[in-house]
Amino acid sequence: MRLPLVAGNWKMNKRLAEARALARAVAEGVSKLGGARGRVEVVLGPPYLALPAVAEAASGSGLGIAGQDCSHEKDGAFTGEVSAAMLKDAGATHVILGHSERRELLGETDALVAKKAAASLAGGLLPIVCLGEALPIRQAGRTLERVGRQIRRSILDAFPAPPEGLTVAYEPIWAIGTGVTATPVQAQEVHAFIRSRLGEAYGVDWAAKTRILYGGSVKPDNAAELFAQPDIDGGLIGGASLKSEDFLAIVSAALST
């Protein structure tokens, strides 16, 4: 059995007071979901500057805290960059890497994502590595080709041996912030493909234990159907993570699977 994981990516939203309030609301809400601890893992991904505030607000709750990116360098003359060690100092336990917005808007390559994944795990963070395809790729029937290439270049090139603690997130770019969601069947097809490729590289047993999240416009009204798919182990949640009631409804859906 894989422990479901629900991670909220707040992106560039929430100032300090708002971030504290949201973290407290989620922590209190999760505590009221009877028996949630040990049955679902919940992670909050605030902006860099809010990491210490959110970590403090969630202290003792069992919630994980994720940075939204990290440098592949340990330290040095890299203006504006944040290292894995800095994220840990700020209270992070996880880090989101290769999100489609960073790939599409900021030009991050598979090779760079691989370097960041290796650096984050070496630095004591648990990486959530994102994969996914744009609409033209989907329409051309090349989804599995694109995702397969990302697996090779963003994950396998980063880790010669099976990486303990890795989580993968499949996020169809055409379903992020558009209101369109991949059907459960579409999502399951890609999740099963990812697990199969990871199994070929690292062994079936390792792949069977590794969580693969869905990250394309998950909402309270579609979460349960998505999470019921055999290879979907939770979600990387964007907009719905900014409202505690919506996010907690998604956490509750993960508990029911």
Structure confidence at residue 177 (pLDDT): 72
Each residue of 16-64: pLDDT tens digit? 999 999 999 999 999 999 767 789 999 999 999 999 999 999 999 999 9
Q: Where are the beta strands (DSSP E) in the chain?
A: 5-9, 41-45, 64-67, 94-97, 126-131, 167-170, 212-214, 234-237
Sign of the CA dihedral with 215 first, then 4, 65, and 83 last: negative
pLDDT given at position 34: 73
Residue with tokens 């907009």: 239
The pLDDT value given to residue 35: 63
The pLDDT of 1-21, averaged and rounded, is 97
Q: Rounded mean pLDDT of the chain?
A: 96
Kindly state the percentage of the chain with pLDDT values over 90: 91
At the top level of CATH, the class of 64-238+248-255 is alpha beta
Tens-place pLDDT, residues 218-256:
999 999 999 999 999 999 999 999 999 999 999 999 998
Which positions are catalytic? 99, 171
Domain spans of the chain, in order of start: 64-238+248-255
Residue 2 has what DSSP assignment?
P
Alpha carbons 227 and 152: distance in angstroms, whole number: 26
pLDDT tens-digit series, residues 99-133:
999 999 999 999 999 999 999 999 999 999 999 99
